[in-house]
Amino acid sequence: MMIAVLRLSHRKKRDKRISTHAGLVSRALGADKIIYTGDEDNVLLNSVNNVVKHWGGKFTAEYSKHYEKIINEYKKKKFLIVHLTMYGLKLEKEIRKIRKRKNILVIIGGEKVPKEIYELSDYNLSVTSQPHSEIAALALFLDYYYKGKELSRKFPHGKRIKPDAKHKIFI
């Protein structure tokens, strides 16, 4: 089983925070990898990969110049291609069918998403059919996919926190 996230059109000067959050949410909520397109940004990749180094798990962050190459590569490997958008079929109505597939490439937009993405995707899923963040859409998709089980996921070989109402306690 593998879930990869494809983040379209990263803009180095404008998107460093949102793209970092895309990587952090992907990792924390159960994806295995994120691939960024757009501007190549080693600071972004190092930032996300350093979180994995310190907090554990096997998540990776990578860069690719061409999203078409990534989508076609994953299609050849029989991955289901899911594009998260405010247009398309409702997440809550389609998620049961999607859960039957174990290998998924989830696409989240950046700036204007090319029409080709809608055509190449097996599913264009709407999350509320209202404008909002691609990070929120990704978090909701992963939560619906894993039915909340991702919230208790363990990350081997990393820092751990003991839940506490008042203090930061590392184990």
Backbone angles phi and psi of 89, in degrees to 5: -75, 155
Q: Which domain holds residue 131?
A: 2-170
Q: What angle do CA 67, 73, 74 make, to 5 degrees?
A: 95
pLDDT-derived band at 13 (thresholds 50, 70, 90) equals confident
| 111-144 pLDDT, tens digit each | 789 999 999 999 999 998 888 899 999 999 999 9
pTM score: 0.95
Confidence check: pLDDT of 110 > 80: no
CATH of the domain at 133: 3.40.1280.10
| 28-83 pLDDT, tens digit each | 999 999 999 999 999 999 999 999 999 999 999 999 999 999 999 999 999 999 99
Mean pLDDT confidence for 5-11:
96
pLDDT reported for residue 143: 98
Confidence check: pLDDT of 22 > 80: yes
User: In 132-169, which positions are buried (b, 16+ CB within 10 angstroms) versus exposed (e)?
Assistant: eebbebbbbbbbbbbeeeeeeeeeeeeeeeeeeeeeee
The number of domains in the chain is 1
Mean pLDDT confidence for 4-20:
94
